Amino acid sequence: MTDYKTLKKIKKLSNTIRNHNHLYYVMDSPEISDREYDQMFRELQGIEEEFPHLVTLNSPTQHVGAGPSSAFSTIEHELPMLSLGNVFDKSELEDFNRRVHDRLNIPIDNSIEYACELKFDGTAVSIIYEDGLLTKAATRGDGRKGEDVTHNIRTIKSVPLELSGENLPSILEIRGEVFMPLSGFEYFNKQASMNEEKVFVNPRNAAAGSLRQLDPDITKKRPLDIFCYGIGLIEGYELPDNHSEIMILLKEWGLNVCSETALAHDVKGCMDFYHYVIDKRHLFDYDIDGLVYKVNKIALQDKLGFVSRAPRWAIAHKFPAKEEYTTIKAIDFQVGRTGAVTPVAKVLPVFVGGVTVSNVTLHNMDELHRKDVRVGDTVSIRRAGDVIPELVKVIKSKRMKNAQVITMPKTCPVCNSVINRIADEAVSRCTGGYNCRAQRIQYLKHFVSRKAMDIEGFGSKLIEQLVDRERIKTPDDIYTVNQEELCSLERVAIKTANNIIRAIEQSKNTTLAKFIYSLGIREVGETTAEVLENYYSNLNKIMNASEEELQDVPEIGPIVASNIVNFFNNEDNIRIVDNLIDRGVIWSNLTVTSSLKKILDDKVIVITGSFDSISRNELKDYIKKLGGKVTSSLSKKTNYLIVGSNPGSKIQKANELDIEMLTEEEFFAYLNKKGEINDE
């Protein structure tokens, strides 16, 4: 058989098998028996074994990629994978609906159409198709970067390796939820138990654990499935005007979309679907923890935009929390990063909403006394939003006669420093500062966390050992740790130590917002840190700002302003900041002059590839500050394509559309020539 005839046979078999995969896994309407399917599949395998040079990545036999990898690499999401805000009842949903109307300046009596969908309880993923072929996939991660799980995604049979149809997008990013069906979960655990292997606690953990296997052959044996619920990046295609129409389009392309959806024109319509699903959810072969309502019209979504980490045009309606009863064994006091001393109830372990709960925070003494919690009490525990364990109420009829009222200790349980409570604050605090072991450890854990300096591998156990040896006291000490010291710690081999040293070095290249957040200033979270970066773009200006000046910054009030000023008035904190910079921590300090601030007004710009002096997200932010609009796809309206290394397919499209292309250096030279940006 010649290569031409063989290739033709392979293509015919591949297309037939893909079609039957779609009918079986997506349409739930198989047209052939399992035996006939297996015969075709084995025939294709036989041909490919005989002619291995003709095997392609999109072959149905290639649902398993390469062998086990040593570790997961990361993939940066072109568009952030955002989370959703939550509502728990009709009144909160009405508040959301009112906010949508207000922002769109639409009278509340005028209806807005919502697409109603199920909220699946699995693992969110991003899957990239290029010219219809699956090329890469990643977990949500921190919303900006996720783990590369391409090989494992390829093992899920309901994920097409090649999209159906013609005139496909050149780039298509699918957002979806990988889950383990309840029937598959039950069968898998039964087999694992019979073989004396580890069983999973719940389907969500089973899906997440299966997707993160280093060996795709293991993932292939797990009964995983996926529902696609949206699109991220798309290029080379004009999408329909409504979200519901986009979901129909995804199904036409061969992607698995859940059929349990509805369109609602008001809160009543959303609630009707909610009650319908509540009554029917026990029939589903998958876990859901609520519903999602999305403004259906894409143009209205664009107008509403985003707030912090969530879209303004969508909301999750969570199901009522699940409750169980247990007994308080003890009430301990934990010390946090800022010295807050928090009462924590130790309870008899109880299984609630898919996890075993043994600790429940009581937030503060006011909360503890309001609920009148005592040791020995029988209490009701629930997982609010199916996530956070919460003590609902005390069953006082079962209280022991000698149960004692709980009081806040006078000294810190960790360092014996005095505990103070400032007037008008609900929280009591240890006065030991970073001399308190608990505060020091929590501070360092915050500094190395993913959303701060992101030092991978520098975990809690490592920090605790180095603190106990008095090797690190403040964050700047981390940048002086060497391989020999790491290897002297428990369970740290040479390879692990080298990986940690590498992660420490990589963390030195950061953003100003992440650096500010990592410092642990009270009440300065991610969003506030980003606001400060966008407003000042310069650390010295932030450090020298007065409380009055800081209060002029959007979203910063008097308390946060006071916390920032107090932090930078502390000589120890200044020393830490100076040492971090001296030890190589850097970020880009691009600022925009006010006189020519809008030089890029009405300019449409597309970015492709990676850049040496700046991250893609930073570059997008700077362009927006200059008045430009950053889009993900090229069109006749595009003014410039900024080209970095490894640019991909956009170069060819830009040439076809005669769009001006600028390198990183050329773009900044253009801006400097216009006098718009000062590199400080």
Bridge partner list, 128: 136, 173
Catalytic residue annotation = 119
pLDDT of 326: 92
The tens digit of pLDDT for each residue in 367-413 reads: 899 999 999 999 988 875 445 688 888 998 889 999 999 999 999 99
Share of the chain above pLDDT 70, in %: 90
Beta pairing, strands 86-87 & 314-318: parallel
* Per-residue b or e along 637-648, where b marks 16 or more CB atoms closer than 10 Å to that residue's CB: ebebbbbbeebe
Residue 330 has pLDDT above 90, yes or no: yes
Task: Name which of 261, 159, 124, 237 is nearest 634 in CA terms.
Answer: 237
* Cβ(328)–Cβ(377) below 8 Å: yes
Flag whether pLDDT at 69 surpasses 60. Answer: no
For residues 497 and 486, the answer to whether their CB atoms sit within 8 Å is yes
Q: Are 216 and 148 in contact (CB under 8 A)?
A: no
**Segment 411-440, tens digit of pLDDT:** 999 999 999 987 777 889 999 988 899 999
Angle at 79 between CA 77 and CA 82, to 5 degrees: 95
**pLDDT of 33:** 57
Q: DSSP labels for 490-524? A: TT--HHHHHHHHHHHHHHTB--HHHHHHHTT-TT-
- pLDDT at res. 600: 82
Residue 663 above 60 pLDDT? Answer: yes
Q: For 434, which DSSP code?
A: G
Mean of all residue pLDDT scores within the chain = 86
- Higher-pLDDT residue of 164 and 56 is 164
Q: What is the pLDDT of residues 467-481, one digit of tens each?
A: 999 999 999 999 999
Closest C-alpha to 661, from 677, 678, 647, 679: 647
- How high is the pLDDT of residue 644? 86
* Bridge partner residues of 661 (DSSP): 641
Q: Which of 504, 532, 208 lies closest to 354 in space, CA to CA?
A: 208
d(Cα 271, Cα 293) in Å, to the nearest integer? Answer: 10
In what helix (H) or strand (E) does residue 44 lie, and over which residues does it extend? helix 34-50
- 312 with 324: CB under 8 angstroms? no
Mean pLDDT for 543-567 is 92
331-356 CB burial, b ≥16 within 10 A, e <16: bebebbbbbbbbbebebeebebbbbe
Q: For the chain, which domains are there?
A: 3-62 (1.10.287.610), 91-318 (3.30.470.30), 323-400 (2.40.50.140), 432-507 (1.10.150.20), 512-587 (1.10.150.20), 591-679 (3.40.50.10190)
First vs last Cα of the chain: how many Å apart?
Answer: 67
Per the structure block, which two tokens stand in for 88? Answer: 């728990």
pLDDT digits (tens, 9 = 90+) for 7-42: 888 888 888 887 877 665 445 455 665 556 667 877
**pLDDT beyond 80 at 672:** no
* Contact status, residue 489 vs residue 465, Cβ threshold 8 Å: yes
Question: Is residue 264 packed enough to be buried (19+ CB in 10 Å), middle (13-18) or exposed (0-12)?
Answer: buried
Q: What is the mean pLDDT of residues 244-270?
A: 96
Are 231 and 173 a contacting pair, CB within 8 Å? Answer: yes
Mean pLDDT of 443-448: 96
